[in-house]
Structure 1
Amino acid sequence: MINEKTGNRLKREFIDGETEEVVERDQQVKGFETGTGDYIMIDPEEVAAVVPDSDKMLEAEAFIACGKIDDVYFDKPYYLVPVDDDASEAFTAIRDALANTDATAVARTVLFRRIRTVLIRPHGKGLIATTLNFEYEVKSSKEAFKGVKKVKVEGEMLDLAKHIIDTKKGEFDPAKTDDRYETALAALVKAKAEGKSLPKPKPIKVSKPNDLLKALRESAGAGSGSSKKPKAANANSEKKKTTRAKTKTTSKSEHKKAS
């Protein structure tokens, strides 16, 4: 944060809510409100005394089949490697056993002074431990989707949607993902530093909800006035043509054998 008038950086200060005096850092403590205006002050050293220290141990509690945990609980992944050569044999045994049984391990460990549940899975030559969000941190999907109406979609709209998916199938490449915000911000800073005009982003054309069928037709390559269906919808007719061709070929070969 910068002072617009002077160009100087701002510094943050904490002000007493009643006296309006600046409170220095060594006088700042955490407190938990037990009632209106009543607080229990807790010193950082007291917190450190009751929070468990990390012993760098992962305690496996259960082994479950892959895919049994909803990925909405996934938080951050961490690579796991052996601490030394002596641990490599046990590490490899656990990794290969998980891979061969298609299982994952649910374990607990201390990370940043908090006991966290992690999901351990084999990954290449090592393991990945993904921290799991606590239940209270994840909003219920039933609650999130309770306003979604049940709508049955069929006919041309569904065929077009399937066709677009089939024609645009690919593979995920992290190198091709880009952070458009960071790119735009870097371009903005560079332009202002060089005294150039600010870059203007290209306008994004958004289809109206009631024009979904028209948008699907355009994406599938069929114009809004075209009555042609996507190739995916004509799969049966293509199959019939192939069957006929094979039948004709077989007839010719049998005729030659007979002669």
Structure 2
Amino acid sequence: DDEDQVKGYEREDGEYVMLEDEELDAVALESTRTIDIDCFVPADSIGWIWYDKPHYLVPDDKVGEEAFSVIREAMVKSNTRAISRVVLYHRERAVLLEPRDKGMVLWTLRYGDEVRDEAEYFKGIKGKPGPKEKKLLSSLISEHTQDWSPSLATDPVEQSLRSMIEAKQKRARRSTKKPEGAKSGKVIDLMAVLKKSLQGGLPQRR
């Protein structure tokens, strides 16, 4: 039941600090259309693991279009990216601005405590391939290298559902479609009735 649910923060000792809805609302921020640039960083200095979600960014109006274009072209020329801040979904997010064609892509970045140190996970890996294995793998990579396409990242479940829906739609259309030329037994040929009436003559008036 929603009334029985509470929100809290777990401490290191396993205990929870309970938070009321009013307290959470007090620290929530209103979403804004303003983007504050903090600094610029080399384009290759931020690892992909920090990238979260992309959003296409376009100027809000003609007045902002010039500033938008100046920032975009300056980043292209200097091969840098802008680290900025914007309020989204009631939280201030660190974002990265990346020039893309005539526009920009705004990447939301993961919070610092969301990315763990990979060394803790990879420290036990000690295997080192020999020269034969390296040569074989290099050959396999060369044979199977192709250009990137969005079709390489498809959802098999979605594809199966689409195929199922299309098949059902085709069956439904076939079952409701009447054969061409078929006539219902209740349809009356008006021309035939009219001809028969005329051949029998009009009824005489009294």
Asked if Structure 1 and Structure 2 have the same fold, meaning a TM-score greater than 0.5 normalized by the shorter chain, the answer is yes
Q: Secondary structure at the match of 1:121?
A: strand
**Partner residue of 2:143 out of 148, 167, 170:** 167
The structural deviation recorded for 1:36 is 8.1
Residues 1:158 and 2:123 aligned together: no
Please show how residues 227-238 of structure 1 align to structure 2 within 5 Å: none
RMSD: 2.8
Residue 156 of structure 2 corresponds to: 180
Residue 42 of structure 1 corresponds to: 20
After superposing the two structures, state which structure 1 stretch, 178-187 or 32-41, moved more. 32-41
The structural deviation recorded for 1:60 is 1.2
Q: Is the 8 A contact 1:98 1:122 kept in 2?
A: yes
After superposing the two structures, state which structure 1 stretch, 142-151 or 112-121, moved more. 142-151
Structure 1, unpaired ranges of 5+:
1-13, 15-24, 195-259
Q: Is the 8 A contact 1:116 1:131 kept in 2?
A: yes
Please show how residues 53-202 of structure 1 align to structure 2 within 5 Å: 53-155=30-132, 157-186=133-162
Q: Is the 8 A contact 2:32 2:88 kept in 1?
A: no
Q: Secondary structure at the match of 1:172?
A: coil
The structural deviation recorded for 1:165 is 1.6
Task: Tell me: CA distance 1:153–1:86, structure 2 relative to 1, closer, same or farther (3 Å).
Answer: same
Q: How many residues align?
A: 168
Q: Is the 8 A contact 1:118 1:131 kept in 2?
A: yes
The structural deviation recorded for 1:49 is 2.6
Q: Secondary structure at the match of 1:130?
A: strand
Q: Which amino acid in structure 1 is aligned with residue 51 of structure 2?
A: F
Q: Which amino acid in structure 2 is aligned with residue 138 of structure 1?
A: V
Structure having greater relative contact order (Cα 8 Å, sep ≥ 6): 2
Distance 2:121 2:101 in 1: 36
After TM superposition, the score normalised by the length of structure 2 is: 0.70
Task: Tell me: CA distance 1:99–1:184, structure 2 relative to 1, closer, same or farther (3 Å).
Answer: same
Distance 2:72 2:166 in 1: 47
Say which one has the larger Rg.
2
Residues 1:30 and 2:6 aligned together: yes
Distance 1:191 1:89 in 2: 51
Residue 180 of structure 2 corresponds to: none
Distance 1:136 1:36 in 2: 19
Q: Which amino acid in structure 2 is aligned with residue 177 of structure 1?
A: A
Distance 1:151 1:179 in 2: 34
The structural deviation recorded for 1:173 is 1.2
Task: Tell me: CA distance 1:87–1:39, structure 2 relative to 1, closer, same or farther (3 Å).
Answer: closer
Q: Which amino acid in structure 1 is aligned with residue 136 of structure 2?
A: L
Task: Tell me: CA distance 1:41–1:29, structure 2 relative to 1, closer, same or farther (3 Å).
Answer: farther
Q: Secondary structure at the match of 2:142?
A: helix
Q: Is the 8 A contact 1:59 1:107 kept in 2?
A: yes
